[in-house]
Amino acid sequence: MRISRKTGVLVSSAAITALALGSAGTAVALVEDESPARSVSAPKPSPAKTAAQSQLLNRTGNVLNPVSELVRDVLEAKGHKPSPAQLTQHTKAIDKALAVLLRGQTTPGKPATPAKPAKPGKQSVAQSGATNRPPVAERLRNQAIIDLKARVSTLVKAVKAGTPRTIVPAAQQTLTGAVNVATVVLLSGELPAPDLKGLPKLPKLPGTATTLPAEVHPAR
């Protein structure tokens, strides 16, 4: 029985959950806590920064979905050999999504819209995004993108060679490559920090500052 497209999206969501917990390097026990959430006065969020974070989250999800769909179709196909048309469709979708993530665009195949000049003391959406990314985060993001493309290529070659014993490991490595991309984005400090009680504190990349949750003021 084929897995629905919705399940593919769930695979992507599961990957994000795994990296959020696993990358912290901490074993976390599930804690039942029914105490009411703290009532803390929240700073006014910046519309430009929030919009940039939303776009980045969308671009990251657009990478995870075609990767999970490629792996799903490979594993479900007879002999783990989907049609050449399916392979081409998935690899093109992955390449476009990675290009968008790399360039900071919002729509595959279209150049990013030039940012309007920001008012003094404020940032435009573009200014609050990739242009402020620390060098370490920039380098690791580029490295993760190149690495994922190589893993996808290895999977496609294994499928075309028709060697089942190499296909499944290659599929696993491709999923891991997608998680690497998402992890770099998550730890770059460009997204809101998770604030669910019970989650461990995430590490951060050198030179980056973890974005504080919108509901909590910085500690004084």
pLDDT higher than threshold 70 for residue 80: yes
Summarize the confidence of residues 19-25 as an average pLDDT.
43
pLDDT digits (tens, 9 = 90+) for 101-152: 988 743 334 444 444 444 544 444 444 444 455 688 889 999 999 999 999 9
pLDDT at 123: 42
pLDDT at 171: 97
pLDDT digits (tens, 9 = 90+) for 63-75: 999 999 999 999 9
pLDDT at 108: 38
CATH fold for domain 47-109+126-190: Four Helix Bundle (Hemerythrin (Met), subunit A) (1.20.120)
pLDDT higher than threshold 90 for residue 189: no
pLDDT at 25: 42
pLDDT at 174: 98
pLDDT at 71: 97
6: Cβ contacts below 8 Å, ≥ 6 apart: none
Summarize the confidence of residues 151-155 as an average pLDDT.
97
Greatest extent of the chain over all pairs of C-alpha atoms, in Å: 61
pLDDT digits (tens, 9 = 90+) for 27-58: 334 344 444 444 455 567 789 999 999 999 99
pLDDT higher than threshold 70 for residue 159: yes
pLDDT at 155: 97
pLDDT at 44: 76
Return the minimum-mean-pLDDT range out of 137-141, 188-192, 206-210: 206-210
pLDDT at 134: 63
Task: Give the residues across from 211 on adjacent strands.
Answer: 192
pLDDT higher than threshold 60 for residue 177: yes
| Rounded distance between C-alpha atoms, residue 25 and residue 35, angstroms | 27
Q: Taking all residues of the chain, what is their mean pLDDT, rounded to a whole number? A: 74
Instruction: Give percent of the chain with pLDDT exceeding 70.
Output: 60
Max avg pLDDT among 19-33, 105-119, 167-181:
167-181
